[in-house]
Amino acid sequence: MKFKISRNEITDIRIFKSFSDIKTFPLKADKYLIVSDIMCTKKFTNEISALKKKIKSPCFTISIPSNEKDFSILNKIFDFMISKGFSRESAIIAFGGGTISDLSGLAATLYMRGIKFCDIPTTFLAQIDAAFGGKTAADFNGYRNIIGSFKQPDLVLCFADFPDIREIRRARGELIKYFLLSPDSFPQNKKKFIGKLEKDIQFREKCIRICSKLKMKTVLMDPLDRGGKEREKLNLGHSAAHAFEYALKGKISHGEAVRLGLEFEFILSLLLRKLKKSFISRAALYFSISRPDVDFDKIKFKSFQEALLVDKKNRGAKNKFFTFSQKGKIIPAREVKIELIRKVFERMKNEYTCNKWPKS
């Protein structure tokens, strides 16, 4: 699949069942830097070595701390590239999950005002979402993705045999988001479909293709995320999700946080307007597929509120959520009163403590 973002930007997306299916590396450069993290370097030692053999030009690797993406790590990447004489004809290859993708993409954007960028996502979450769309980012003072830019990858390579079962389960939040946005794009029995993902590589490949097409189709309508109504829908669940991540100090995966964020914005929708019973039943069914193991007593509402105030999606408002209309369409809700936000938060806390599902 090739998606033309602008006159000069084309993202080439290639999806394979297995890493062994790739014969040659299609992105040409004078030098390459493979950026990975400590966990990925250990898990994919053979694949990284094989990739370096497929690349004819000089190829270096750098391993950074897992699940960290601040400016001190960016500095290390830049220091390494300068010491090895990387030029504007060089390329960075992100080999890892969403964190590696975000940080590597930002490094590729900033180094010499932009060099080539290839993304090889290793987690299922990255394969169905983070690797597409061109957003790059670094964290700052604990706030997620607060510093960043847009850079479409020149090449994305997805291998369905990379993710393990744990990573597939962690990605359920983003997958449920796609179910809510475009239910007809997936098989009717969503629960059975998710179950097959853990056992069948062919189903994983199919899921990656569906999600990548859905996301890129939406991204093309608003490549720089200027507030276009269609691209904004991809933020469903994310306002609350980033606040949960901040309040839990990173002790929750992004996919699990998105799952919490979706439920938060669903309950907010129930309180803001009367939703159709058919949509409530469908959403509750999706939520029942997966529920994160979270101790709400450890989530401080003050921290949750603080994160909401600095969310990029606010666009000048005090807060901005993406809620459901009566029929389940996505509509923004701005300047939601703090009393209502607290009410939703306390309701979720109570429902998780009592192990109940949201009801109208």
Going from the C-alpha of 27 to that of each of 13, 17, 114, 257, 342, the distances in angstroms are 12, 20, 15, 34, 49
- For residue 272, give the nearest of 217, 313, 332 by alpha carbon: 332
Calculate what percentage of the chain has a pLDDT beyond 70.
Answer: 95
The structure's pTM equals 0.88
- For residue 231, give the nearest of 101, 135, 131 by alpha carbon: 135
User: What's the rounded mean pLDDT across residues 283-302?
Assistant: 86
- What span, in angstroms and rounded, lies between the C-alpha atoms of 205 and 288? 24
Q: What is the pLDDT of residues 267-276, one digit of tens each?
A: 999 999 989 9
Q: Which domains does the chain have, with CATH numbers?
A: 2-164 (3.40.50.1970), 236-352 (1.20.1090.10)
Q: What is the pLDDT of residues 148-196, one digit of tens each?
A: 999 999 999 999 999 999 999 999 999 999 999 999 999 999 989 998 9
User: What's the rounded mean pLDDT across residues 11-30?
Assistant: 93
Q: Report which DSSP code applies to 312.
A: G
Q: What is the pLDDT of residues 22-47, one digit of tens each?
A: 988 999 999 999 999 999 999 999 99
What is the SS3 assignment for 37-75?
Answer: EHHHHHHCHHHHHHHHHHCCCCEEEEEECCCCCCHHHHH
- What span, in angstroms and rounded, lies between the C-alpha atoms of 225 and 151? 12
User: What's the rounded mean pLDDT across residues 74-98?
Assistant: 96
- For residue 267, give the nearest of 336, 324, 193 by alpha carbon: 324
